[in-house]
Amino acid sequence: MTVTLADVAARAQVSPATVSRVLNGKYPVAASTRERVLKAVDELDYVLNGPASALAAATSDLVGILVHDIADPFFGILASAIQSEIGGSGGRAGGERLAVVCNTGGSPERELTHLTLLQRQRAAAVVLTGGAVEDAPHAAAVSTKLRKLTDAGTRVVLCGRPPAPGTGAIALDFDNRGGARQLTGHLIALGHRRLGCIAGPRERTTTRHRLEGHREALAAAGLEDDPHLTVHGHYDRRSGYEATVELLRRAPDLTAIVAANDTVALGACAALRESGLRIPEDVSVAGFDDLPFGIDAVPPLTTVRLPLAEAGARAGRIATGREEPPPGGITTLRGELMVRGSTAVPRR
Amino acid sequence: MTVTLADVAARAQVSPATVSRVLNGKYPVAASTRERVLKAVDELDYVLNGPASALAAATSDLVGILVHDIADPFFGILASAIQSEIGGSGGRAGGERLAVVCNTGGSPERELTHLTLLQRQRAAAVVLTGGAVEDAPHAAAVSTKLRKLTDAGTRVVLCGRPPAPGTGAIALDFDNRGGARQLTGHLIALGHRRLGCIAGPRERTTTRHRLEGHREALAAAGLEDDPHLTVHGHYDRRSGYEATVELLRRAPDLTAIVAANDTVALGACAALRESGLRIPEDVSVAGFDDLPFGIDAVPPLTTVRLPLAEAGARAGRIATGREEPPPGGITTLRGELMVRGSTAVPRR
DNA sequence: CTGTTAGCGCCTTCAT
DNA sequence: ATGAAGGCGCTAACAG
């Protein structure tokens, strides 16, 4: 009942192999034959059987994208950019590749599970986004899995995540440390001396790097790094709100807050406003990432712009073999300080 | 070199069939045998070949999700919710299903292309999100394709999109008309008489329904529907900005603006602010959807909350056969008016 | 440029 | 509860 390649071949009066060749391009076929085949395909309303091709060719047109949560614009923008570059020509069967998006919630277990699932699908490539967990056993497990994937011919790209040495994975990392240093440096230059810091979850690379940058800037200015001024939380609005309440309790004299990211910064703004504090007159606030909504905050959010779309696009191209990996398989993308209305000279 | 089912079978001293049965659950296998097989799987580090299973079983573990753009939180939230419900048990091989997210940009051509690609993958289900285009030929083409998919056993769910009669697709639609009516009604109740309306792209169902609701509210209040007060645009911030500039030019006396969605509303707010107008004192602004950032606008955005997460979760469950479709295969999810600071009584 | 021939790795009746 | 055997639909050498 279901139309197969053989049916098309019969109707076009050619061999199945020829039909296959026509459908997959990439092979010399006489124009007249091709037309006949295409006509038969059309008339029969034939649709190639993906699993069968994948089995025979030992590779699929699937590209896995691991994200913490696709509902988060940070990952949405990355995923969108990756996708925009994996379609089009270059592969088999019209070269259309499909993106398999996996929400991992940042959990290494789920990351591993999804990598296995993608391995099972014989994915052509896998892009891992977002910071990694800094737990040795987990990191090792992920590395082992990545190694297996690359060994099996799957291209693995780390996008916005530190390199995984020995895995054969290409890494496009963000310069979180440098960005954070610039940002805190900016606040210090404005005259701030008591800076609250809302950091992300402890065990993540992103958190550590941003925190290190922050501390480097403090150190460079000869400022003490008061541990009471740093609070850890998640990368969400609520964390920003709660951490700010806590920071204000601990240090009512702070004049600025650097948040783990833009979302957290919005939560911080909300808490400040509720405490009757004005932004930036009483307290300056800065975010990180430069997500689209930051510009519509009032005042607009000072932040560090990460080249998300660029990174995603590049990851997509590398994953599909349309762009050469960077030399050494590792490259770092810088952020750009975006000074806007939410930061200003401190009060008094 | 690559380990296969047969290798596992040999090592566990059972037949390939038994290994298959163990791996796919859903079949009586002696506990001792199962354990032996699982042990062999582990020792051999065996990973099932997805394409091969899919070919043999004539169905895959892939679920397609069509979105306009995954970078848009509206779709990100839907996709995230869908995904959260398609994993877990219920299917073959651990029941893990993977989400294939396709950006269509709302273009019917790309929608069709991606549906074909998913058909090629023998996707277990497809969820289409976002409003549909109201172009007869395109609508017919999409319907035909959906029919083919359902005929082939693929579950098709429309999420936030009107029913497609005769296709066998389940529809979970949002009550855009009712939501818009409430929203405009709210503004009229506040005393507004000159309401600007920034509508979405002309040829979309979502746009039409929201516009109809708006007009119904106007009519119910005996207000004239001045065509100059409606401007069409896209569902993005820039459209909101530009449309507002245009509306202010056409009708400097307007006291309220209802936007196509929250993103558009933010663009409108920006334009108003740049024109020196205060929100809501001079002009009230309302959005639609209730995306997370709306609450952080200053003042927070009055809007209509759509049950995105609920709709997505339900779509995911229906797509994976874990929930019964609604009677008649069609249901409408209501929105809820969220009155916040961006709307107030008109000036004077 | 096109046809022929073997599988790719698994599932699934049908027996036992 | 388990084994045996055939085939799912396509691609990839080889020939020619």
Q: Between residues A347 and A231, which one has the greater pLDDT? A: A231
Protein residue closest via CA to C1' of C1: A29
Q: Tell me which nucleotides of strand D come within 7 A of a protein CB.
A: 1-13
- pLDDT at residue B64 tops 50: yes
- CA B166 to C1' D6, in angstroms, rounded, equals 38
Residue B331: its H or E element: strand B330-333
Nearest CB partner across the interface for B51, out of A119, A122, A293: A122
For the segment B42-51, the average pLDDT, to the nearest whole number, is: 95
User: CB distance A55–B49 less than 8 Å?
Assistant: yes
For the segment A96-105, the average pLDDT, to the nearest whole number, is: 94
Tokens of B19: 């290994």
Mutation site for A-interface testing, chosen from B70, B104, B116, B235 by largest number of A Cβ within 10 Å: B70
Protein residue closest via CA to C1' of C7: A56
Is the CB of residue B60 inside 7 Å of nucleic acid strand C? no
- CA A32 to C1' C3, in angstroms, rounded, equals 17
State the pLDDT at residue A92.
36
State the pLDDT at residue B348.
66
| Nearest Cα residue in chain A from B98 | A100
- CA A140 to C1' D9, in angstroms, rounded, equals 39
For the segment A220-235, the average pLDDT, to the nearest whole number, is: 96
The verdict on whether omega for the bond into residue A162 sits within 30 degrees of 0, i.e. cis, is: no
Listed residue (A164, A201, A62) closest to A118, CA to CA: A62
**Side-by-side strand order, sheet with B284-286:** B230-232, B195-199, B256-258, B284-286
User: CB distance B83–A101 less than 8 Å?
Assistant: yes
The separation between the first and the last C-alpha atoms of chain A, rounded to the nearest angstrom, is 81
Tokens of B153: 């056993």
- Residues 6-65 of chain A within 7 A of strand C, judged by CB, are 13-18, 21, 27-30, 32-34, 52, 55-56, 58
State the pLDDT at residue A30.
87
- Cα separation, B121 vs B61, in Å, equals 9
Is the CB of residue B153 inside 7 Å of nucleic acid strand C? no
User: CB distance A101–B60 less than 8 Å?
Assistant: no
Burial level of B17, CB count in 10 A (0-12/13-18/19+)? Answer: exposed
Q: Tell me which nucleotides of strand C come within 7 A of a protein CB.
A: 1-13
Chain position carrying tokens 């039909």: A19
pLDDT band at B185 (very low <50, low <70, confident <90, very high): very high
Determine the length of chain A: 348
Q: Tell me the per-residue pLDDT of B210-245, one tens digit each, with 9 for 90 and over.
A: 999 999 999 999 999 999 999 999 999 999 999 999
Residue B127: its H or E element: strand B125-129
Shortest CA to C1' contact from A4: nucleotide:
D9
- CA B123 to C1' D1, in angstroms, rounded, equals 32
- Cα separation, A170 vs A163, in Å, equals 7
Q: Between residues A305 and A347, which one has the greater pLDDT? A: A305
Cβ–Cβ under 8 Å, residues B149 and B128 = no
State the pLDDT at residue A93.
39
State the pLDDT at residue B88.
65
Q: Tell me the per-residue pLDDT of A26-65, one tens digit each, with 9 for 90 and over.
A: 778 888 899 999 999 999 999 999 999 999 999 999 999 9
Chain position carrying tokens 């380990």: B3
- Residue B67's DSSP bridge partners are B103
State the pLDDT at residue A88.
65
Q: Which residues of B touch A48 (CB under 8 A)?
A: 120
Q: Which residues of B touch A4 (CB under 8 A)?
A: none
pLDDT band at A95 (very low <50, low <70, confident <90, very high): low
Determine the length of chain B: 348
Nearest CB partner across the interface for A120, out of B50, B55, B118: B50
Contacts of B227 (CB under 8 A, 6+ apart): none
Name the 3-class secondary structure at A207. Answer: helix
What's the predicted TM-score (pTM) here?
0.95
User: CB distance A73–B73 less than 8 Å?
Assistant: yes
State the pLDDT at residue B93.
39
- pLDDT at residue A105 tops 60: yes
Q: Tell me the per-residue pLDDT of A304-346, one tens digit each, with 9 for 90 and over.
A: 999 999 999 999 999 999 999 999 999 999 999 999 999 999 9
For the segment B298-303, the average pLDDT, to the nearest whole number, is: 96
Q: Which residues of A touch B101 (CB under 8 A)?
A: 70, 79, 83, 99-101
For the segment B267-276, the average pLDDT, to the nearest whole number, is: 97
- pLDDT at residue B30 tops 90: no
User: CB distance B93–A121 less than 8 Å?
Assistant: no
Contacts of B63 (CB under 8 A, 6+ apart): B82, B86, B97, B98, B99, B100, B123, B124, B125, B126, B127, B316, B319, B320
Contacts of A18 (CB under 8 A, 6+ apart): A9, A12, A29, A33, A37
A-B C-beta contacts closer than 8 Å: 143
Alpha-carbon distance A224 to nearest alpha carbon in chain B (angstroms)? 33
For the segment B303-314, the average pLDDT, to the nearest whole number, is: 98
